[in-house]
With several copies, the nearest count.
Chain A
Amino acid sequence: MSIWEYANPKKFLRSTERVLPPLWLGSAVLITGGLIWGFFFTPDDYRQGATVKIIYLHVPSALMAINAWFMMLVASLIWVIRRHHVSALAARAAAPVGLVMTLIALLTGAIWGQPMWGTWWAWDPRLTSFLVLFLFYLGYIALWQAIDDPDTAADLTSILCLVGSVFAVLSRYAVNFWNQGLHQGASLSLDKEENVADVFAYPLYVCMAGFILLFIVLVLYRTGTEIRARRMSALLARERMSE
């Protein structure tokens, strides 16, 4: 059976109806489990103290913030090429989730930065490109909301997503260039791998899995909602015609 069959709205609704409950359960278990593990049962880091516990929210949300955009990009491509309505609606459904993930990453990062760097915010390339990503989400959502006709909105937003992705990558390089240019904030750069010892890593993996699952569940559920809304307006239109 081809995956494209799920592009049929009814089929999509029927199959998600079945898989959603276990997914809800799974994401809830993983997230609460991971967070409890991380919050209660891991030691403090020798340098960062208790603040290291923030990592269990910060990293998974940052991960999903980027991947949500990536998913929207793929869905937009599918809409542009094959015009499956469900994929356009899925892109629409994912955007607010991605926005919230970005916001969580930004806020937890800012809160973390206060004790670690002594400032809420620095124009570090990584942080800055996250802010730019946030702006892209805002624009994308605003465009969906501004247009009444669903197909027109799907076409326009998907092209915006494609063009925006190119510019987002460009911005990433530009920002890198910009802040290294004056050699500022180098001491603030995020040190990868080094800090993350195994004790912290395992609960982190659980949380990451939980966030991924949560994203999937939310997008499936919200796509279902969008499909129902479309179906409703289609039915209403048909009712109008038969009058």
Chain B
Amino acid sequence: MIALLIRDLQLAFRAGGGFGLGLAFFLIVTVMVPFAVGPDAAGLAVIAPGVLWLGALLACLLSLDRLLSLDWEDGSLDLLATAPLPLEGVLSIKALAHWLTTGLPLVLAAPVLGVLLHLPAAGYIWIMVSLLIGTPALSVIGTFGAALTVGLKRGGLLLSLLVMPLYVPTLIFGAEAARRGALGLAGETPLLMLAGITLGTIALLPFASAAVLRVNLR
């Protein structure tokens, strides 16, 4: 199990492994928002928490494509499925590796990008905490989506479509907490809800993912 985690991290850090790309995507999306909606600072400040959450969500989403498909294409997934590891465990580990290489860097980068969007000072801690609590759910839900689409060639866009609706509750509570925080209001309630979603998905979703993957492997 730990061998799998180590291998996945190793692969991510090797040339072409894609570590840092999610981060760069996050940066670019954030930079492009003012180009699209205009440079007015007050206007940007209002939408800043939402943009940061949406950017983080998209960055997660786009890296999902690599989560299982690479292993599927070169046949490793067939071999892992016949190895003495429970498939649920394999998928949980893969979600963890995905979070470590994608979600966690996003959390750390969010305040820097907050500066670009004129995020109000009160908002920094809230955006970080809400992302820290919320991104694990994004990875776990994403693993489910990846397992659903693993057999499809270049299923990236379809994967996005399937996963986005599942991301809605996480996005709503996360962005709400960050927005309230930025306005100086109390954001504890949405944050609690967010934590609930994260815990629930971590506990239950790997079973669904494994079931789906078994079907796809046949």
**How close is B185's CB to chain A, nearest CB, in angstroms?**
9
A135 on the interface (CB 8 Å rule)?
yes
The answer to whether A121 and B116 touch across the interface, beta carbons within 8 angstroms, is: yes
Query: In the complex the two chains form, what is the Cα distance from A108 to B136 in whole Å?
Result: 34
Chain B residues near A167 (CB, 8 Å)?
165-166, 168-169
Chain A residues near B211 (CB, 8 Å)?
159
Digit string of B68-96 for contact with A (CB within 8 Å is 1, else 0)? 00000000000000000000000000000
Contact of B169 among A139, A147, A170, A179 (CB under 8 A): A170
The answer to whether B172 and A175 touch across the interface, beta carbons within 8 angstroms, is: yes
Chain A residues near B151 (CB, 8 Å)?
147, 152
Query: In the complex the two chains form, what is the Cα distance from A147 to B27 in whole Å?
Result: 23
Digit string of B192-218 for contact with A (CB within 8 Å is 1, else 0)? 010001000000010010011001101
**How close is A121's CB to chain B, nearest CB, in angstroms?**
5
B162 on the interface (CB 8 Å rule)?
yes
Closest to B190 in A: A177
Chain A residues near B21 (CB, 8 Å)?
142
Contact of A139 among B38, B161, B216 (CB under 8 A): B161
Chain A residues near B131 (CB, 8 Å)?
none
A123 on the interface (CB 8 Å rule)?
yes
Query: In the complex the two chains form, what is the Cα distance from A143 to B158 in whole Å?
Result: 8
Chain A residues near B148 (CB, 8 Å)?
143, 156, 159-160
**How close is B12's CB to chain A, nearest CB, in angstroms?**
13
Contact of A178 among B39, B166, B197, B215 (CB under 8 A): B39
Contact of A174 among B38, B41, B173, B216 (CB under 8 A): B173
The answer to whether A142 and B165 touch across the interface, beta carbons within 8 angstroms, is: no
Closest to B183 in A: A182
Q: How many chain-A residues does the 8 Å CB contact rule pick out?
A: 41
Chain A residues near B24 (CB, 8 Å)?
138-139, 142
Query: In the complex the two chains form, what is the Cα distance from A167 to B164 in whole Å?
Result: 11
The answer to whether B162 and A174 touch across the interface, beta carbons within 8 angstroms, is: no
Query: In the complex the two chains form, what is the Cα distance from A114 to B31 in whole Å?
Result: 20
Chain B residues near A138 (CB, 8 Å)?
24, 27, 161
Query: In the complex the two chains form, what is the Cα distance from A174 to B27 in whole Å?
Result: 20
The answer to whether B176 and A178 touch across the interface, beta carbons within 8 angstroms, is: yes
A146 on the interface (CB 8 Å rule)?
yes
B125 on the interface (CB 8 Å rule)?
no
Given contacts A155-B215, A177-B193, contact A131 B161 (CB under 8 A): no
Chain B residues near A170 (CB, 8 Å)?
168-169, 197
Given contacts A156-B215, A160-B148, contact A132 B172 (CB under 8 A): no
Digit string of B8-44 for contact with A (CB within 8 Å is 1, else 0)? 0000000110001100100110010011001111000
Chain A residues near B149 (CB, 8 Å)?
143, 146
The answer to whether B168 and A110 touch across the interface, beta carbons within 8 angstroms, is: no
B129 on the interface (CB 8 Å rule)?
no
**How close is B16's CB to chain A, nearest CB, in angstroms?**
5
Query: In the complex the two chains form, what is the Cα distance from A179 to B44 in whole Å?
Result: 14
Closest to A110 in B: B115
Closest to A182 in B: B38
A233 on the interface (CB 8 Å rule)?
no
**How close is B51's CB to chain A, nearest CB, in angstroms?**
14
Q: Which of A142, A168, A174 has the most CB of B within 10 A?
A: A174
Given contacts A159-B212, A177-B193, contact A136 B176 (CB under 8 A): no
**How close is A33's CB to chain B, nearest CB, in angstroms?**
33
Can you name 9 A-B pairs with beta carbons within 8 Å? A138-B24, A139-B162, A146-B16, A148-B15, A163-B208, A167-B166, A175-B172, A177-B173, A184-B39
Point out residues on A near B: beta carbons under 8 Å.
110, 119-123, 128, 131-132, 135-136, 138-139, 142-143, 145-148, 152, 155-156, 159-160, 162-164, 167-168, 170-171, 173-175, 177-179, 181-182, 184-185
Task: Using A119-B118, A120-B115, A178-B176 as known contacts, list a sample of 9 further A-B pairs with CB atoms less than 8 Å apart, ordered by residue number in A.
Answer: A110-B115, A121-B115, A122-B39, A139-B162, A139-B165, A152-B218, A167-B168, A174-B168, A182-B39
Q: Give 4 closest A-B pairs by Cβ, nearest first.
A: A123-B39, A174-B172, A174-B169, A170-B169
Point out residues on B near A: beta carbons under 8 Å.
15-16, 20-21, 24, 27-28, 31, 34-35, 38-41, 115-116, 118, 144, 148-149, 151-152, 155, 158, 161-162, 164-166, 168-169, 172-173, 176, 180, 189-190, 193, 197, 205, 208, 211-212, 215-216, 218
